[in-house]
Chain A
Amino acid sequence: MKFDAQDCELVFRNQLTETIFDFRLKNKFLAEMTKAGQFVQVLVPSKTLRRPISVCDVEGDIIRLVFEIRGEGTAILADTKVGEKINIIAPLGKGFDLDENKKTIFIGGGIGVPPMLYSAKKCGKNATVINGFRNKSAVILEEDFKAFAGNVIITTDDGSYGIHGFVTEPLKECVKEAEMICACGPMPMLRNIAKIAKENNVPCQVSLEQRMACGVGACLGCAVAVFDENGNQTYKHVCKDGPVFNAEEVVF
């Protein structure tokens, strides 16, 4: 465990869709410590609680965050101008347990897509990427994934781009060759992916979200229900035990 709260300069800001923003934050100390699948706690002016945002990518001294406006806090954050400082606690949580030599399927749904980029990059050509969106105008980061991944599949719920349907359709076709599945997105999507993974005996890791306060494991706010070794239901915490969990332990 090693993290700190520090200011970062916003060095690049881009709007990807009507509600999704691409921020690049400069902080050498924090960037060097940040691993794939971890998250940061972003201070928003005038808000009591920080916003937990998954790390999309790290390049040199830059931490890249791609986030969606969900409410007042993220709307204020989206208005930050290039050159201004943003305070983050980073890096937080445990990312995906990856083996770059294993054929790994990375699945993202909607705003669950950005957290997969840095992780998938680690697996390079061994990465098969399946990203699902509502429609064509919601598609993000396609070129970023195509730059390194062995195969990139896009699905849209309405068929306006890529494959018509959910991410689980292409998953069923390629799951047999996979040695690992990593996923992030809405709970119903993760539940269905976990089911397919189990049926095909492929280990599966899922990145979860929960309403959070401290972000470091002290306040015990961000509980998720899991099964312990004896199959009894208990709680773990997204900020410290996660955000990535083995799909088998999650109570969906």
Chain B
Amino acid sequence: MADLSVNIAGVHFNNPIIAASGTIGFGREYSEFYPLSVFGGISCKGTTLKERLGNPPPRIAETPMGMLNAVGLQNPGVEHFIKYDLPWLREQNTVVIANVAGSTQEDYCKMVEILSDTDIDMVELNISCPNVKEGGVQFGTSCESVGAITKAVRKYCKKPLIIKLSPNVADIAGIAKAAESEGADAVSLINTLTGMRIDINTRKPIIKNVTGGMSGPAVFPVAVRMVWQVKNAVKIPVIGMGGVTTWKDAVEMLMAGADALQIGTALFTDPYAPVKITEGLNQYLDDHNMKSVTELTHTVIV
């Protein structure tokens, strides 16, 4: 039995598997399957200052080995999260990460200031939601804007700060470096890739929002590439995500440079994916005489 625990920006995780924001809500539904402590941590649904109703349906389309979504940050607002969800999540013996979305720099700063006075463990700054105009992606697509929002939020953030990066950019390594130099404690990537499907009978986009964020096994190689590029460029921890479905994917993502992982779409295919990934990862480490999962990180031989 190897040591699966990891330390990300001073926060201890019992294992490196974190539930990805937007796929697990605030955890209550999946706690029907297993205790949420099967996850090292949970990144909560993207939360905004005020309640958001989200986008009109349909919000979902399947793609070859993946899916598109355009939920549009439907959430009950940060105060509801703090009053109703956080106390319950605190009892689940898993790291609680608040995922923060906004439309202005002031929103992000205000949210982070509010959350800094709660007992969440970490903040994940969502500057990469592709599905709403005001979802922050405008902050996430250039080195300058990522640096600026990180710098602004850092002043108000008393919690370890993760910047979640968009893959819909030209220079992912440069963007990660900009976040690091302005005070990010970690980066997580990749958010979804922007995609689109058309119903050939009606000539209409399947998703009402026209475009959506693509996730699932199909994006995995893109994620592995970007995690590797980012790990080569920064010293802060890298949380890898994007299509991780099996324990083999988890090993591969760690080798590429991830210090921890997030899984999301895999939960829809198999709710027990985190349990199976953790078991498989443990077995792999034992089989290779490794004492700790941290020995895998960034060990790809190039």
Query: Which A residues are within 8 Å of any B CB, using their own CB?
Result: 1-5, 43, 47-50, 73, 87, 89, 210-225, 234-235, 240
Contacts and interface: CB of A to CB of B under 8 A. Distances in A.
B32 A214 contact: no
B147 interface: no
B33 A221 contact: no
B25 A217 contact: yes
A114 B199 CA distance: 26
B71 A211 contact: no
B164 to A, nearest CB: 17
Contacts of B54: 220, 223, 235
Contacts of B216: 48
Report the contact-size class of chain B (Cβ under 8 Å from the partner): 35 or more
A216 B57 contact: no
A178 to B, nearest CB: 30
Contacts of A3: 32
Interface stretch (B231-239, B264-272, B293-301): B264-272
Given A43-B270, A218-B29, A210 B71 contact: no
18 contacts: A5-B270, A43-B269, A48-B63, A48-B269, A49-B60, A50-B268, A210-B58, A213-B265, A216-B29, A216-B30, A220-B59, A221-B69, A222-B59, A223-B54, A223-B71, A224-B57, A235-B54, A235-B57
A224 B268 CA distance: 20
Interface centre among A3, A5, A235, A240 (most CB of B within 10 A): A235
B14 interface: no
Nearest to A87: B270
A104 B58 CA distance: 32
Given A220-B54, A221-B71, A225-B57, A48 B265 contact: yes
Given A5-B272, A214-B29, A49 B23 contact: no
A4 B33 contact: yes
Given A1-B32, A2-B32, A234-B53, A220 B71 contact: yes
Contacts of B59: 211, 220-223
**Interface class of chain B by DSSP:** loop
Nearest to A232: B53
Given A2-B32, A225-B56, A50 B74 contact: no
B167 interface: no
Given A213-B67, A213-B69, A218-B23, A4 B57 contact: no
B57 A50 contact: no
B132 interface: no
Contacts of A50: 268-269
Interface string B2-25: 000000000000000000001111
B61 interface: yes
Contact of A220 (B63, B74, B269, B270): B74
B106 interface: no
B18 to A, nearest CB: 15
Given A2-B32, A47-B62, A219-B25, A214 B268 contact: yes
B77 interface: no
Contacts of B29: 1, 214, 216-218, 240
